[in-house]
Amino acid sequence: MAAEMSKQQIDKILEMLADLPSLPAVATKVLQVASSEDATAADITRLVSVDQGLASKILGTCNSAFYGLPQRVKTLSQAVALLGFKAVRNLVLVQLMPWKRAGQKSFADEAIWVHSAAVATTSRVLSGQTGRCDPEEALLAGLMHDTGRLALNQLLKEKFEPVMNAIYNREEDSITVERELVGIDHTVFGEKVLEKWSFPDEVVRVARDHHQPAEQLDGLTLIVRAADELAWLMGKGVREPEQPPTEVPPALSILGVSLGDLDALEERVAVALEQARDLFGV
């Protein structure tokens, strides 16, 4: 979807980016530490411990069924030792996303978050199953794939509701609806937002490319695209599940999923989604 942008569109993006809340400093530092070669468990523990509320939320979520740890984790350094840097980084980021705010959530807030959490969880399941990517990288990339939509919704508020209504009711292709109603689509905006927040390059690429034709995708982007397809089939972020599907969507098919495999895969994902409820607060 890399259509030429007019100067007006580019100005609009830059203007909106300036209004976007910055990522909390802890989140930015955790992103840096998790991708640094010589970081230690103590570095990440020190960062997170500054905020006791955050530390206890992370301890709570890492003990959820989603991670299936053999023993109860009591300290952050234990969490890093058992789950690894990347999983703990993800737990921090999930808690600190600017749109995970308290208070009244709109219909659009809910629909987008439910979808993002479902794609994050499904990406982790698919990468574990296919062995194509690191499951924790896949979770983060899945969580952030529609960042552009989350950010547009946060910035435009009521103006974004008709866009989400159309997507939720499957009235038209989501990219087309966004371009028609707000002048910019979530892949273009998501790339800019994630660059601004210094997310890893692969995560930025997933946000930018996940609506390109499936046969042009590989690695993390292919996994997240397949997870996105499955989330739509299962009705995560749309009014109703698309059941029974008559054909396997393209990215899932490239991953080797056949029509006969879909039920079992959906069941596996449904179990993971149930276990991930605490983590994402859905």
- Under the rule (CB under 5 A), what is the footprint of Fe ion? 146, 228
Which residue has tokens 């552009």? 148
Question: What is the closest distance, in whole angstroms, from the C-beta atom of residue 70 to Fe ion in the complex?
Answer: 33
Q: How far is the CB of 112 from Fe ion (least distance, A)?
A: 9
How far, in Å, CA of 224 to CA of 201, rounded? 15
Of 43 and 185, which has the nearer Cβ to Fe ion? Answer: 185
Nearer to Fe ion, 51 or 161 (CB): 161
- Return the DSSP state at 143: H
CB of 22 to Fe ion, least distance (A): 23
Instruction: Quote the CA–CA distance of 269 and 230 in Å, as a whole number.
Output: 9
* Shortest separation between residue 187's beta carbon and Fe ion, angstroms: 7
**Would you state the structure tokens that stand for residue 25, as one six-digit string?**
């400093």
Q: CB nearer to Fe ion: give 129 or 212.
A: 212
In the bound state with Fe ion, the residue whose beta carbon lies nearer, of 84 and 219, is 219
* Opening angle at CA 166, ends 273 and 182, nearest 5: 110
Nearer to Fe ion, 191 or 228 (CB): 228
Nearer to Fe ion, 90 or 221 (CB): 221
Closest distance to Fe ion from the beta carbon of 16 (Å): 18
Three-point CA angle 111, 274, 35, nearest 5°: 80
Q: How far is the CB of 135 from Fe ion (least distance, A)?
A: 19
- For the chain, the distance separating the N- and C-terminal CA atoms, rounded to the nearest angstrom, is 31
In order of 34, 90, 101, 225, 240, the CA distances from 152 in angstroms are 28, 22, 15, 20, 24
Q: Which is nearer to Fe ion, 136 or 191 (CB)?
A: 191
* CA distances, 98 to each of 21, 27, 150, 197, 229 (Å): 7, 11, 10, 11, 26
CB of 119 to Fe ion, least distance (A): 6
Cα–Cα distances (Å) from 83 to 76, 87, 192, in that order, read 10, 6, 30
Residue 241 and residue 235: Cα distance in Å, rounded? 4
